[in-house]
Amino acid sequence: MTERLGTMTVGDIVAADFRAASVFEQFGIDYCCGGRRTLAEACRIAAADPDGVVRALDALPLPSGDDDMARWPPERLIGYILSTHHAYVRSALPAIARDLGQVLEADRGRHPELPRVAAHFDQMRGDLEQHLLKEERVLFPYVRDLATRDLTAARAGSPFGTVENPIRMMEREHRDATDALRTMRELTNGFTAPPDSDATYAACMAELARFERDLHRHVHLENNVLFPKAVELEANRRHV
């Protein structure tokens, strides 16, 4: 492992080149809620071969300037998160819930893990729907104000004091959602449909796997890119 990559955090690596997310997913490395770990530490926790990870990262073509989301201003990041990830979550949650319900009804108890998967999904769905609202109605508008107006104007509409307070809450809720999906993944052997299941079951597992991939990228952009920018903006405004 090169010294530079070995000491970088996995969140910073993905922030610099978003395509690195697919490499980390391939090796089972948590780059969203675990984004503050160094690559060396993340490889150790995931039991991944560090040299193999570095080779896969080095094989990625050089990103164009516009691919570097770490350089995007907060307003652009928020717009992207809303249009790409929040919109997807809102469309995917009811669709997966419907398909899980159909699979559960047709299963008739053959796969005892299914009711547990459905219960975890229902809890996660309710939590995420509230989570999106808190970001859209409270945190994101405040971050936009930090980026475009002075601190006094931003804090006039702030019921929470420093931006670090809601960020801690959002990060905790991110961990809850990713933990719920990890449990669902374990219950379903990696979102794999059993040999005796039908096409609807397989499609539902594929939808859950896609949702997990999207959530990892969604959480990464907030935890490792947007939130640090917001904290830095607020700190800089205080010293103006």
How confident is the model over 81-105, as a mean pLDDT?
95
CB 116 within 8 A of CB 166: no
Q: Which residue has the tokens 């006094």?
A: 152
Q: Which CATH class is domain 72-238?
A: mainly alpha
pTM, two decimal places: 0.84
CA gap 7, 50 in Å, rounded = 12
Region of poorest pLDDT, from 16-25, 45-54, 80-89? 16-25
CA gap 158, 234 in Å, rounded = 12
CA-based R_g, the chain, Å: 20
Indicate the DSSP class of residue 34: T
As to burial, measured by CB atoms within 10 angstroms (0-12 exposed, 13-18 middle, 19+ buried), residue 50 is middle
Indicate the DSSP class of residue 28: T
Alpha helix ranges (H) inside the chain:
3-7, 10-16, 20-26, 39-46, 50-58, 74-80, 87-107, 113-134, 140-148, 151-156, 164-187, 199-220, 227-238
Which residues make beta-bridge pairs with 38? 9
Region of poorest pLDDT, from 66-70, 161-165, 190-194, 230-234? 66-70
94, 131, 126: which is closest to 211 by C-alpha?
94
How confident is the model over 36-55, as a mean pLDDT?
91
Most confident of 7-16, 86-95, 196-205: 86-95
- Quick check: 156 pLDDT over 80? no
Label residue 1 by pLDDT band (50, 70, 90).
very low
CB 223 within 8 A of CB 35: yes
Indicate the DSSP class of residue 111: -
How confident is the model over 158-171, as a mean pLDDT?
89
CA gap 53, 55 in Å, rounded = 5
Domain boundaries, the chain: 3-67, 72-238
CB 201 within 8 A of CB 118: no
**Per-residue pLDDT reduced to its tens digit, 182-220:** 999 999 999 998 888 888 899 999 999 999 999 999 999
Label residue 47 by pLDDT band (50, 70, 90).
very high
The CATH fold of domain 3-67: SP0561-like (1.10.3910)
Percent of the chain scored above 90 by pLDDT?
Answer: 59
